[in-house]
A and B are shown apart, each in its own frame.
Chain A
Amino acid sequence: MAHDFIKDTCERVKDHASRKAPLAIRGGGTKAFLGALPAGEPLEVAGYAGIVAYEPRELVLVVRAGTRLAEVEAALAAEGQALAFEPPRFGEAATIGGTVACNLSGPRRPYAGAARDFVLGARIVNGRGEDLSFGGRVIKNVAGYDVSRLMAGAYGTLGVVTELSFKVLPRPPAEATLAFEMDEPAMIAAVNQWAGQPLPLSATAWESGVLRVRLSGAASAVAAARAKLGGAEVADGPAYWEALREHRLPFFDPARPLWRLSVAQTAAPIAAGHPQLVEWGAGLRWVSGDLGAARARELAAAARGHATLFRGGDRAAGVFHPLDPAIAKIHRRLKEAFDPAGVLNPGRMDNF
């Protein structure tokens, strides 16, 4: 059955490639809102699910891409471990493959790394319908180009991800959430200064004049940092971070377009004229409102970053930040290198 899925997927992709007929890769369908509009005949991949190998003492997990994120995290939690990039789900059907394809990371990202940082290996079906494996199950591996990490954030446009291996980490034994009344410039200075000190930071979020900071680590380290930083202890910390991760806070008004401005952490406050929530040590500025693509990109570029229309708004106008022409040229050729017939999720990354 498992073997058949890969074989069938290869055949299906080959067939579509021969006819230049696009395929829209679909896992749990929870990220359909993300990226440019999917086009093509659906290629369902959620059925290829299950943990292939998990040896907690190796800190390595091998999993089929259709496995639900919830299932993966439950298996890790049973051993006191976790995906350190704290991925959002945006729905219970979310799969591990979709998470990597969109390179989605949660509040812990600036302090632990992004989804791409934890990918050790990937098995893919490329646009020629070939079943290929890259990377592996070991933490250090420099044999060949890092194609597995390249799959993270490629939105399925370079390959159908069928299996993934990850480095996993122990869950921190202790956590605490502190709150500070602070305006935005003071917050930006504080979170950057703190990140330069040996403090067990694991998340920051600022909205409406309140900065929340999460500390994670050894109980003694968390206690010492709490004493050093001051602030008010937040009772419902875990619930807050989960609501932030899943975009369930009131800030994330589904009726309004949501812009994601990923910028230099030290960039000055951005005058977007709409409500903002700032996380990732001030490196991620969510803007809730009809900012408009041109304005969003201009603001992000001025802050040495890039803008993505994350949810809602006019997706036909392009959701990602336009690429430098020389970089775009490499992108076109990479797309061609993996998917010469252009059948894998074409256009999901605007031009790729």
Chain B
Amino acid sequence: MNATSPPAATPERQAQVASALAARLPAHAVLTAKEDLRPYECDGLSAYRQTPLVAALPGTVAEAAEVLRVARETGTPVVARGSGTGLSGGALPLADGILLSLGKFNRILAIDPLARTLRAQPGVRNAQITEAAAPLGLYYAPDPSSQIACSIGGNVAENSGGVHCLKYGLTVHNVQKVRALTIEGDDVGIGSDALDAPGYDLLALAHGSEGLLALVTEVTVKLLPKPQTAQVVMTSFMDVEAAGEAVAAVIGAGIVPAGLEMMDKLATAAAEDFVHAGYDLEAEAILLCESDGTPEEVAEEIAKITAVMREAGCTAFAVSASEAERLRFWSGRKAAFPAVGRISPDYYCIDGSIPRGALSKVLRRIAELSAHYGLRCANVFHAGDGNLHPLILYDANVPGEFEKTEEFAGDILDLSIEVGGTITGEHGVGVEKIRQMCTQFRPAELAQFHAVKAAFDPQGLLNPGKAVPTLNRCADYGAMRVHRGQLPHPDLPRF
């Protein structure tokens, strides 16, 4: 909050920051040419683009510390970037800032089979961790759908989830400690090798902090024994209410499935067309419900799930009979985003979390909004944990369509808040949802967030302008937004 604006991004300014960096880093680790900066201009949210003032590619913790020192001494903001797969623009560069790529931090440093931990540099890919642990019969549980590309450092920054969160937790539940550099130059350990650490839970704060608090340079994750077996039940429903009711019934029966996913008709059709998983194209919704564990456990649980689904009125039903079939059932869900990308020039992914009980209401309102805006919307849903990903289909080449899409997306996020949920379950706020933060939180809460940031980063140099809006910015957004379900004029129709 007390940060002053950095000098404007002039060629002189660029030369000043670049030469300060070049004095401390190897020559190839500082990029300033337009064509060299281009690859960093956006992350997974490609609608927002900005080339940075300078890109720095440190190869060691000492070099990363030097980048932060230059940032501190020249008052230049820093945006850290892992694999650049984030979906909220958290790694969007700043025109007047340094883009710090962690691409060279790509090594697994240690695996301790007995302690079931793995220590990795932040640029290591999520899937690489599970691959490295596999020979030991272990794995890393959080599996965001971008797991083949996304980095573990980015997972910490976003507190990433995946399809197995209900049973196995988020990134914050599966990381034991991180090593991080503060903008003030301290090299700190957050968390511990024990099951807890003295003092405040800084590890919890680090998770989902979107690069605003510190630069993570090492991550120690907990590994779990790989379940002996897994099976998935695939069911069809003729309306989404019935599917939502089936989800609630599964949980109500005391089952915590390893994964519980829903796709609506449009998403199912797109996925089927892409991967030919054998999905039921007549269904209004299909559910994938996975059980994992020992063979005895899985057999018992699958029998229970089967009974609940039949009771809930599913119209078609299949249990994976082999590992190949299990993977085939999942293939369409895992590829749902690219599949939707094939049926539309562009799509926009939303990340609201809602109480599961509100699902029917939310899907009905989304359908109404879809008609209102004249834009199709495919819904995929981490049904087990209430995280909804509506995918709005649009064409960026049609003038005004992206703006309309953003408005539609904003309405869905407001709706998520209105039903008691949140604007982001796992993708982060970034630049994308910063406006809705003004709706979800009151000024005093946002002020408290800024105070938390200042405790780590008094100068406000780490990824400024992301994740938490300034109060002025919120004031600018105006008063026409829903607040905690209270519209200024609840009697007026909104669309």
> What number of B residues sit within 8 Å (CB to CB) of A?
95
Interface 9-residue window, one of A1-9, A16-24, A67-75, A301-309? A301-309
Name the distance in Å between B261's Cβ and chain A's nearest Cβ.
Answer: 13
| CB interface residues, B 145-203, toward A, < 8 Å | 158-159, 161, 165-166, 169-170, 172-173, 182, 186-190, 192-202
Indicate with 1 or 0, residue by residue over B373-409, a CB within 8 angstroms of chain A CB atoms.
0000000001001110000000000000000000000
| CB interface residues, B 189-239, toward A, < 8 Å | 189-190, 192-202, 204-205, 207-209, 213, 225-228
CB–CB A220/B300 < 8 A: yes
A116 contacts which chain B residues (CB < 8 A)? 201, 204
* Bound complex: CA A18 to CA B428 (Å): 37
CB–CB B423/A58 < 8 A: no
Answer whether residue A130 sits at the interface, using C-beta atoms and an 8 A cutoff. yes
* Bound complex: CA A134 to CA B161 (Å): 19
CB–CB B424/A141 < 8 A: yes
A133 contacts which chain B residues (CB < 8 A)? 445
B161 contacts which chain A residues (CB < 8 A)? 140
Name the distance in Å between B117's Cβ and chain A's nearest Cβ.
Answer: 9
Answer whether residue B448 sits at the interface, using C-beta atoms and an 8 A cutoff. yes
* Bound complex: CA A200 to CA B301 (Å): 15
Indicate with 1 or 0, residue by residue over B426-459, a CB within 8 angstroms of chain A CB atoms.
1111000100010011101100110111111010
CB–CB B172/A331 < 8 A: no
* Bound complex: CA A331 to CA B455 (Å): 8
**Known: A170-B254, A221-B296, A266-B115. Contact between A144 and B455, CB under 8 A?**
no
CB–CB B201/A149 < 8 A: yes
CB–CB B357/A57 < 8 A: yes
For A84, give the chain B residue with the smallest CB separation. B256
CB–CB B248/A145 < 8 A: no
Indicate with 1 or 0, residue by residue over A222-259, a CB within 8 angstroms of chain B CB atoms.
01110000000000000000000000000000000000
For B484, give the chain A residue with the smallest CB separation. A133
For B382, give the chain A residue with the smallest CB separation. A140
CB–CB B448/A265 < 8 A: no
* Bound complex: CA A330 to CA B387 (Å): 33
CB–CB B248/A57 < 8 A: yes
CB–CB B173/A117 < 8 A: yes
CB–CB B114/A145 < 8 A: no
For A285, give the chain B residue with the smallest CB separation. B194
Answer whether residue A54 sits at the interface, using C-beta atoms and an 8 A cutoff. no
Interface 9-residue window, one of A25-33, A37-45, A190-198, A288-296? A190-198
* Bound complex: CA A334 to CA B452 (Å): 6
Interface 9-residue window, one of B30-38, B267-275, B348-356? B348-356
Answer whether residue A219 sits at the interface, using C-beta atoms and an 8 A cutoff. yes
CB–CB B204/A146 < 8 A: yes
For A188, give the chain B residue with the smallest CB separation. B114
Answer whether residue B299 sits at the interface, using C-beta atoms and an 8 A cutoff. yes
B382 contacts which chain A residues (CB < 8 A)? 140
CB–CB A146/B207 < 8 A: yes
For B194, give the chain A residue with the smallest CB separation. A305
A322 contacts which chain B residues (CB < 8 A)? 198
CB–CB A114/B455 < 8 A: no
B455's partner among A109, A199, A219, A336 (CB-CB below 8 A) is A336
* Bound complex: CA A263 to CA B195 (Å): 7
* Bound complex: CA A333 to CA B183 (Å): 15
| CB interface residues, A 260-276, toward B, < 8 Å | 262-266
A196's partner among B136, B158, B386, B456 (CB-CB below 8 A) is B136
CB–CB B165/A139 < 8 A: yes
* Bound complex: CA A131 to CA B138 (Å): 44
B455 contacts which chain A residues (CB < 8 A)? 330, 333-334, 336-337
* Bound complex: CA A262 to CA B199 (Å): 13
A305 contacts which chain B residues (CB < 8 A)? 192-194
**Known: A139-B166, A146-B172, A193-B114. Contact between A60 and B198, CB under 8 A?**
no
Answer whether residue B328 sits at the interface, using C-beta atoms and an 8 A cutoff. no
B354's partner among A138, A220, A323 (CB-CB below 8 A) is A138
B452 contacts which chain A residues (CB < 8 A)? 145, 147, 334, 337
A143 contacts which chain B residues (CB < 8 A)? 422-424, 429, 433, 437, 440-441
For A62, give the chain B residue with the smallest CB separation. B420
Answer whether residue A209 sits at the interface, using C-beta atoms and an 8 A cutoff. no
CB–CB A150/B200 < 8 A: yes
| CB interface residues, A 117-146, toward B, < 8 Å | 117, 126, 130-134, 136-146
Answer whether residue B89 sits at the interface, using C-beta atoms and an 8 A cutoff. no
| CB interface residues, A 298-336, toward B, < 8 Å | 304-306, 308, 320-324, 326-331, 333-334, 336
Name the distance in Å between A306's Cβ and chain B's nearest Cβ.
Answer: 5
- 19 more A-B residue pairs beyond the given contacts A146-B207, A198-B293, with a C-beta to C-beta distance below 8 A: A57-B252, A138-B355, A139-B386, A143-B437, A144-B437, A144-B445, A144-B468, A149-B172, A154-B200, A195-B225, A220-B294, A220-B296, A220-B299, A221-B296, A225-B294, A263-B194, A280-B195, A304-B194, A323-B199
A-B contact pairs, 11 of them (CB 8 A): A153-B200, A192-B114, A196-B225, A218-B300, A262-B195, A263-B193, A265-B194, A326-B187, A330-B202, A330-B456, A333-B455
7 cross-chain pairs, A with B, having the tightest CB-CB distances, nearest first: A220-B296, A140-B425, A333-B455, A337-B451, A326-B186, A149-B204, A305-B194
